[in-house]
Amino acid sequence: MAPLFSAPSARRGMNLGNALDAPADAAHALAPRERYLDAIRDAGFDTVRLPVAWSAHAAPTAPYTVRRAFAERVDRAVDAALARGLTTIVNVHHYHELHEDPEAHAERFLALWRQIAPRYADRDPALLHFELLNEPRAALTPERWNVLLARALAVVRESNPDRTVLVGPAEMNDLRALPRLELPDDDHLTATIHYYAPFPFTHQGAHWVEGSAPWLGTSWGADADRGDADRVAAERAAVSDDLAEAAAWAKAHGVPLFLGEFGAYERADLDSRARWTAHVRREAERLGIGWAYWEFGTDFGAFDPATDTWREPLRRALVPDGR
């Protein structure tokens, strides 16, 4: 299959999550420090995805102005990443109100992009990409999202005619929602998906997932004895088949595909996390899909900020050759 990378430079990425998308007082908030960008680049990643909670820092009434101090904080992170040669993806993240009441928040969402897009219009379009919205869901159904994404893309194109824009399907960017995604006719679009299957493995013990406690202890990809060989093969085949399905959709629609998030929560055992991560990464690369791991340094983290070191099993799973 021909490569589907969204750009020659956007192949192996890291999400700097729980930073610009987290409340300032959140226990798990991570400051987007420049040394973290150095660590990402030096480990062999070429891309950083910057989730940004613009809506949490914008006025509730028209013209919905984003607070200057926050916008400048995002500027610093964007420019620091670009200065290191990292392809950088900026999105609108955690706009929960839009998901729950799209009619009430559609104009505010468009107003955010009327501020974001011109702000970065002079940045290199080969290195800075936009992602319209993280994980549309709930009342923002596929039908409603298809209409709104076309309006948002038109806003972006007023100031950024050639910039790569990532668009994912509704239902939280799930690959099985791709058939209901309608992309406008645009030569600079990339489809994006998220992948966290099997969910009882990747989210075992996650405090925000109701009923996840009984999943604790779920392993993945381990051969305890010969009797497990069929199970392990089935686990691997399920992941491979899922990603192949997404790649086939992208090929049929003539668009690049980017795996914007995949990862396993910290309460899974590290060996299983590394095996699963390595398999997802290998299959994505085999299919020509660029990717970004979720996430750098908090509860899914491949990096330990307390020691300023990589969790080596995860680092090797993602960039085994360091290049």
Active site members: 135, 261
| HEC string for the chain | CCCCCCCCCCCEEEECCCCCCCCCCCCCCCCCCHHHHHHHHHHCCCEEEECCCHHHHECCCCCCCECHHHHHHHHHHHHHHHHCCCEEEEECCCCHHHHHCHHHHHHHHHHHHHHHHHHCCCCCCCCEEEECCCCCCCCCCHHHHHHHHHHHHHHHHHHCCCCCEEECCHHHHEHHHHHHCCCCCCCCEEEEEEECCCHHHHCCCCCCCCCCHHHCCCCCCCCCCHHHHHHHHHHHHHHHHHHHHHHHHHHHHCCCEEEEEECCCCCCCHHHHHHHHHHHHHHHHHCCCEEEECCCCCCCCCEECCCCEECHHHHHHHCCCCC
